[in-house]
Amino acid sequence: MKKFIVDEKVFEKLPEYCLGIVVAKGIDNHSFNNRIEQMLDKQIRKFADAYQSVNIRELPNIKAYRDAFSVLGINPNKYMCSIEALAKRVQKNVQLPHINSIVDIGNAFSLKYHLPMGAHDIDKMESDIEIRFSTAQDYFLGLGENQAVAMPEGELVYISRHTVKTRRWIWRQSEDGKITEETNNVFFPIDGFENLNYEQILKARDELADFLRQEFDCDVLTGYANREANVFCY
For 106-163, write each residue's pLDDT tens digit: 999 999 999 999 999 999 998 999 999 999 999 999 888 889 999 999 999 999 999 9
Was domain 3-233 assigned CATH 3.50.40.10?
yes
Q: What is the mean pLDDT of the chain?
A: 96
For 54-80, write each residue's pLDDT tens digit: 999 999 999 999 999 999 999 999 999
Share of the chain above pLDDT 70, in %: 100
Domain spans, the chain: 3-233
For 84-114, write each residue's pLDDT tens digit: 999 999 999 999 999 999 999 999 999 999 9
Identify the pLDDT of residue 32.
82
> In the predicted model, is pLDDT for residue 176 greater than 90?
no
The 3-class secondary structure across the chain, one letter per residue, is CCEEEECHHHHHHCCCEEEEEEEEECCCCCCCCHHHHHHHHHHHHHHHHHCCCCCHHHCHHHHHHHHHHHHCCCCCCCCCCHHHHHHHHHHHHCCCCCCCHHHHHHHHHHHHHCCCECCEEHHHCCCCEEEEECCCCCEECECCCCCCEECCCCCEEEEECCEEEEECCCCEEECCCCCCCCCCEEEEEEEEECCCCHHHHHHHHHHHHHHHHHHHCCEEEEEEECCCCCEEEC
| pTM of the predicted structure, to 2 decimals | 0.96
Identify the pLDDT of residue 57.
96
Identify the pLDDT of residue 31.
81
